[in-house]
Amino acid sequence: MSVRIAPSVLSADFSALGNDVRMVADAGADWIHVDVMDGRFVPNISIGLPVVAALARISPLPLDVHLMIVEPEKYVDAFVEAGAASVSVHVEATDHLHRLVHRIRHAGARPGVAINPATPLDTLADIAPDLDIVILMTVNPGFGGQTFIERSYDRLRRLRDLLDRTGSAATITVDGGVDPARAEAVVEAGGDVLVAGAAVFATPDPAGAIAALRTAGQR
């Protein structure tokens, strides 16, 4: 399976979100990554249900919703209802991950789990076979445009081993600080999906950035 590119609209122009989504779709992106932040799980507030619903109406690409919120169990059904194709919750944000993952699937979306840079990967071992997606955070979540944490390459390799060992078919989404210069190494270490916010939207040539990510990721 070739690498997939998921631009994060966190760094898009919020006054012209529809245009930016269509632009990256035309440029060959695969998923639209939507970062939902509540100001509690992470120290920033971004966007929520109405924006996801609006994006779902116009996006030609599946919406990959990343919930950085406390008490995700209160909201997952609503995000699926709003049009999310996949919904990922943080392993750190719930005591009942198994129930929540199955609830997301039952609601009709692909379930994912996101994991912060300091959380031991082993916490995923018993849920991995039930997941469609693992989002490996390669920055501390909360903001776009941060620097990729170098130790993440080792975590990526260990996560790939864990998924193989547990018979999980989940894809690994690498989220935070990914740019064309890192794409090859990230894919080589086990990444399947590259999230890129600043590297796509904070450049003068987003389409060129998507092409560069794909080329580097396919080497």
Q: Using the minimum distance from each CB to ligand DX5, give the nearer residue, 43 or 108.
A: 43
Handedness of CA 152, 122, 163, 37 (dihedral sign): negative
For residue 69, the SS3 value is: coil
Task: Judge whether 8 and 35 are in contact, CB under 8 Å.
Answer: yes
- Angle between the 180-188 and 206-217 helix axes, to the nearest 10 degrees? 30
Pick from 118, 122, 163: nearest CA to 138: 118
Tell which positions 29-48 bind Zn ion, by CB under 5 A: 35
Q: How many Å apart are CA 67 and CA 48, to the nearest integer?
A: 9
Question: Active site residue: 35, 38, 64, 179, which one?
Answer: 35
66 is in an annotated binding site: yes
Residue nearest to ligand DX5 according to CB distances in the complex: 197
Part of the chain binding Zn ion (CB under 5 A), chosen from 27-35, 42-50, 55-63, 185-193: 27-35
Q: Using the minimum distance from each CB to Zn ion, give the nearer residue, 149 or 166.
A: 149
Q: Confirm whether 205 is a catalytic residue.
A: no
Question: Active site residue: 30, 64, 132, 175, which one?
Answer: 175
Q: Determine, following the binding rule CB under 5 A, whether residue 179 of this chain makes contact with Zn ion.
A: no
Q: How many Å apart are CA 145 and CA 185, to the nearest integer?
A: 19
144 is in an annotated binding site: yes
Contact with Zn ion (CB under 5 A) among 66, 103, 155, 214? 66
CB of 42 to ligand DX5, least distance (A): 6
Pick from 68, 65, 93: nearest CA to 81: 65
To 5 degrees, how large is the angle CA 130–CA 86–CA 66?
Answer: 100
Q: Confirm whether 122 is a catalytic residue.
A: no
Out of Zn ion, ligand DX5, none, what residue 38 binds, judged by CB under 5 to 8 A for its kind, is: none
Binding-site residues sit at 8, 33, 35, 66, 142-145, 175-177
Provide the binding-site residues for Zn ion, judged by CB under 5 A: 35, 66, 175
